[in-house]
Amino acid sequence: MDTRFLQSFVMVVDCGSMAEAARRLDLTPAAVAARVRALEESLGQPLVRRSGRTVTSTEAGLKILAHARTVLRDVRNLHAIANDDAPVGELRLGVSTSAMTGILPPMLKVLYDQHPRLAVHIQPGTSSHLYHGVTTAALDGALIVEPQFELPKSCRWQLLAEEPLVVLAPAALAGSDPLALLASEPLIRYDRAMWGGRLADRYLADRGIRPQERIEIDALNAIAVMVHQGLGVSLLPDWTPPWPEGLAVVRMALPAPAPVRRMGLVWAGHGPRAALVEVLVEAGASTAAG
């Protein structure tokens, strides 16, 4: 069996689209579809179903998905070991979007200073999606918002950054009462599907604030730009820099005690690459201390 067929199948399922999978694999959609069909013929089962431009996995596809990921990772590890590109294979790391530019790069700098030949595959996503990836062994670890529920005993957690909620407002509103702004100005809401967005939503509910909702979005950088444009104010985590440059906005502290979004690493404590994740944890601790 050609592992490229497995790679195309997994990418199509992850993307939910032949076109997007083709873009990421640098192939044509027809080539990706042909690979998936070849895999289906080899296994004698339909693995994906199409509905318009959307592609989902069949029951048979779901049964082999985790095994396909394992095979692909083992093949990458074989290549890495044979070519001496990595000490012990590849680390699959999930990273929430807001941590991608702030928390992650300094950690990787420390990590690669110590282990220059380590191979890392980074998968972006939401905290909830990436947490699921860790619990299903699709990911070795994930840099996410701390879950608001008890972790299973198989998982470990390391806090890396605490980001208090702040009110983000146009610079012209500097000096205003932040709670009054939340109650009176249009709100650009941090998506409640995000764990950090739920934290902000609970704060508003606990304070009895019923905002004038204008926009709901899960992109913190985009929210900052919208506030700069005068579209409203927002309640969001004071996320680790960098922030977009050249924005005329102010960050207003909330009355104490302000809710805090806690960012950290979650990983399977007894997973095959737990030791590699712990190296990254040490890099994160070193970065925070510095």
Residue 275 lies in a domain: no
How high is the pLDDT of residue 212? 94
Rounded to an integer, what distance in angstroms lies between the CA atom of residue 99 and that of residue 145?
Answer: 9
Q: Alpha helix locations (H) across 83-161?
A: 104-114, 127-135
Whether the CA torsion 249, 253, 255, 258 is positive or negative: it is positive
Structural domain includes residue 142: no
Residue with tokens 């640098």: 26
Distance CA 263, CA 253 (A): 19
DSSP, residue by residue, 201-225: HHHHHHTT---EEEEEES-HHHHHH
Whole domain around residue 54: which residue ranges? Answer: 1-68
Average pLDDT over residues 221-238: 96
Q: Is the pLDDT of residue 208 over 70?
A: yes
Nearest-angstrom CA–CA distance, 201 and 209 = 10
Angle between helices 18-25 and 3-15 (to 10 degrees): 130
Angle at the Cα of 256 (from 252 to 259), degrees rounded to 5? 80
In a domain, 130, yes or no: no
Both tokens assigned to 142: 């994930």
Is residue 103, in this structure, part of any structural domain at all? Answer: no
Number of domains making up the chain? 2
Please write the tens of the pLDDT for every residue from 70-116.
Answer: 888 777 666 655 555 444 457 889 999 889 888 999 888 888 887 77
Q: Which range in 65-69, 146-150, 229-233 is most confidently predicted, on average pLDDT?
A: 229-233
120-143 in b/e burial notation, b at 16+ Cβ within 10 A? beeeebbbeebbebbeeebbbbbb
Is the pLDDT at 197 greater than 80? The verdict is yes
Q: Regarding predicted confidence, which is higher, 171 or 26?
A: 171
| Domain end among 34, 68, 102 | 68
* Last-in-domain residue among 68, 97, 117: 68
Is it the case that residue 184 has pLDDT exceeding 60?
yes
Number of residues assigned to the chain: 290
179 domain residue, yes or no: yes
β-bridge partners, 50: 55
Half-sphere exposure of 169 (CA within 13 A, CB side): 21
Does the residue 51 lie in any domain?
A: yes
Instruction: Show the CA angle centred on residue 162, arms to residues 194 and 138, nearest 5°.
Output: 50
What pLDDT is recorded for position 78? 65
Of the residues 24, 44, 68, the one at which a domain ends: 68
pLDDT band, very low/low/confident/very high, at 158 (cuts 50, 70, 90): very high
> What is the rounded CA–CA span in Å between residue 135 and residue 202?
26
Query: 3-state DSSP call for residue 243?
Result: coil
CA distance 145 to 160: 10
- Asked whether residue 106 is domain-assigned, the answer is no
pLDDT of residue 71: 84
Can the peptide bond before residue 178 be classed as cis, meaning omega within 30 degrees of 0? Answer: no
Instruction: Give strand pairing partners of 56.
Output: 49
User: Mean pLDDT score of the chain, rounded to an integer?
Assistant: 88
Q: Residue 12 domain-assigned?
A: yes
pTM comes to 0.66
208: domain CATH number? 3.40.190.10
Q: What is the rounded distance in angstroms from the CA atom of residue 238 to the CA atom of residue 200?
A: 12
Residue 282 parent element (H or E) = helix 274-289
Closest of 196, 204, 190, 206 to residue 261, by C-alpha: 196
CATH assignment at residue 30: 1.10.10.10
Q: What amino acid occupies position 272?
A: P
Question: Which is it for strands 90-96 and 141-145: parallel, antiparallel or unpaired?
Answer: parallel
